[in-house]
Chain A
Amino acid sequence: MAKHDLAERAQGLAKEAAELSESLGELAREAAGLAVQTGEPSGGTSPLVMGITVLVLAVFVGYHVVWRVTSAQHSPLMSVANAISSVIIVGALIAAGTGGSGFSEIMGFLAVTLASINIFGGFIVTHRMLAMFKRKQN
């Protein structure tokens, strides 16, 4: 009887140990997550400021690149811009691929699908438009 009890207790302990080691792994992962979070800003420029720098420069580039667009090109320009804004798929892939929490993965899958519609649709419809413009120049 006692033996059986002991075995049962040992089993329980083993289970607990396994659980502990699991949560230890989780802790390590958390620590790593925190390190990522807190590590960057110390010393260097914060990511937010870097982001704003990139944003402002990109707005200027966009302005100068698009400013003199001829009116015949307005529609294709807009549809290609629309396809480019679907680069948001980068964020969607991260959510869909990590397989962590179920809900986020579903959101990721939906976002990947929507962005893909846009990428394929946007570039193809632009191509169709431009192909027509091409024909007439001959």
Chain B
Amino acid sequence: MDQNLATLLYLIASVCFILALRGLSHPETSRAGNRYGIAGMAIAVVITLFLLPEMDFITIFGGVVVGGAIGTVVALRIQMTALPQLIAAFHSLVGLAAVFVAVAAFYNPAAYGIGLPGEIGAASLVEMAIGTSIGAITFTGSIIAFAKLQAIMSGKPIVFPLQHWINLGLGLFTLLLIVWLSAAESDMAFWLIVIVSLMLGVLIIIPIGGADMPVVISMLNSYSGWAACGIGFTLQNNLLIVAGALVGSSGAILSYIMCKGMNRSFVSVILGGFGGETAGPAAAGEEGEKSYNQGSAEDAAFLMRNAEKVIIVPGYGFAVAQAQHALREMADLLKAEGVEIKYAVHPVAGRMPGHMNVLLAEANVPYDEVFEMDEINREIAEADVAFVIGANDVTNPSARSDQSSPIYGMPIIDVDKARQVFVVKRSMASGYAGVDNPLFYLDHNMMLLSDAKAMCEKIIKALE
């Protein structure tokens, strides 16, 4: 195939990717967006196959069939509650693939038209090194994020002295290695870049606590784009550069939105150490044991049945308990009694951006019953009942009033303004931010201490 024709077709694929992201940013156009993405990818793959001087069918189709089968099975089987882990795992694969491609280009540069072994241009080597490094960081960073989300590893931040200096040192060391590589095309420099970057990926993510996971996932999403971008420079392929830059900037925007949802700066999230440490002292304050009202499923059923308007605030605990179907059933029963139901979703509820919306959608909750934080806060004072299920920090009133609180300034859903609050929670322990929640001790709040799904089922029984 003519190189110019191929480049033009690659351009079409790039446009498809732009349309894909554009489509995905609005609910009405999102399915068309996904189709554009698939079309762009198909064009990219087919054109590349036509461009190959000779084709090793077994290697290529072997890889596509094996990978495609694994991807399909995993994507069809995955529980929607495990979506954050899945996305983290996917990010790690992109990172590792970028490293493999860079290694292949380093040892067989002629295939990529960037020279011969030992004679790769300095610019190509620098591009290759940057792609490798970002890819390796994405790979191990995503694995750590996966381990934290899958609870293989504690969500608590891992901090040690001089941590950030070590990271900075390793970063500078990588830059030196890149200079060495571009000057000497040394194998050793190349592999050292890989190893140091793999270490950096681990070290960057371990200090970041569980509460900041939505930012971490968005950030790694962004990194995986930049890794593709770096490889695009090596291959002098505009499609890769465009696609990588699109993903990179969309991930960066999501990170920014998540940071804003927590009122935290991006730098402070990256520096990490948030949450986990203060759990002890905050819970056992000087006032000793504070008293709270404990309610039962029957109380909740009675009060909600007689309410006019109930606002449901789901959080991570709701996802873990897989309570979406039971909750929806409960809401249906209440609706049948003439109660108005609204769902309120905080921007950082759950462990990845938009996670609650997906779970509610899975349980067939109508789209127009789900509201964003700002919309619901305007009318929450009119609500008879706020039903908080598995959410904690995003409802903590001390974010509004207590300047000494670590989460001060974070926008919250003002559930305490509703006439009656129920909080479904497994225990009185503090949330991921490690902060005690004064909401629990309010007179008009009742704690429903139970697993989210079990509680919904009990309330359903009481309603019937």
B227 at the interface (CB under 8 A from A): yes
CB <8 Å contact, A75 and B25: no
Most chain A C-beta atoms within 10 Å of own C-beta, residue among B62, B67, B365: B67
Beyond A54-B241, A87-B243, A91-B240, whether A80 also contacts B33 by CB under 8 A is: yes
- For residue A88, which residues in chain B have a CB less than 8 angstroms away from its CB? 94, 97-98, 101, 227-228, 231, 240
Q: How far is the CB of B336 from chain A (nearest CB, A)?
A: 18
- For residue B240, which residues in chain A have a CB less than 8 angstroms away from its CB? 87-88, 90-91
CB <8 Å contact, A89 and B45: yes
Q: How far is the CB of A71 from chain B (nearest CB, A)?
A: 6
* Contact-residue bracket for chain A: 35 or more
Chain A 93-105 per-residue mask, 1 if CB under 8 angstroms from chain B, else 0: 1111111110111
Closest to B102 in A: A91
Q: How far is the CB of A109 from chain B (nearest CB, A)?
A: 5
B105 at the interface (CB under 8 A from A): yes
Q: How far is the CB of B237 from chain A (nearest CB, A)?
A: 6
Q: How far is the CB of A54 from chain B (nearest CB, A)?
A: 5
Closest to B373 in A: A71
CB <8 Å contact, B121 and A37: yes
- For residue A55, which residues in chain B have a CB less than 8 angstroms away from its CB? 229, 233, 241, 245
Most chain B C-beta atoms within 10 Å of own C-beta, residue among A48, A87, A113, A132: A87
CB <8 Å contact, A123 and B244: no
- For residue B101, which residues in chain A have a CB less than 8 angstroms away from its CB? 88, 91-92, 95, 107-108, 111
What total of chain B residues lie within 8 Å of the partner, measured CB to CB? Answer: 122
State the B residues within 8 Å of A (CB): 13-14, 17-18, 20-22, 24-27, 30-31, 33-34, 37-38, 40-41, 44-45, 48-49, 52-56, 59-60, 62-72, 74-76, 78, 80, 83, 86-87, 90-91, 93-94, 96-98, 100-101, 103-105, 107-108, 110-116, 119, 121, 123, 127, 217-218, 221, 224-225, 227-229, 231-251, 253-254, 257, 345, 347, 352-355, 357-358, 361-362, 364-367, 370, 372
State the A residues within 8 Å of B (CB): 29-30, 33-34, 36-37, 46-48, 50-51, 54-55, 58-59, 61-63, 65-101, 103-105, 107-130, 132-137
Q: 10 new A-B pairs (CB below 8 Å) besides A77-B354, A80-B24?
A: A58-B249, A59-B249, A65-B246, A81-B251, A84-B17, A87-B244, A91-B104, A96-B56, A101-B107, A111-B104
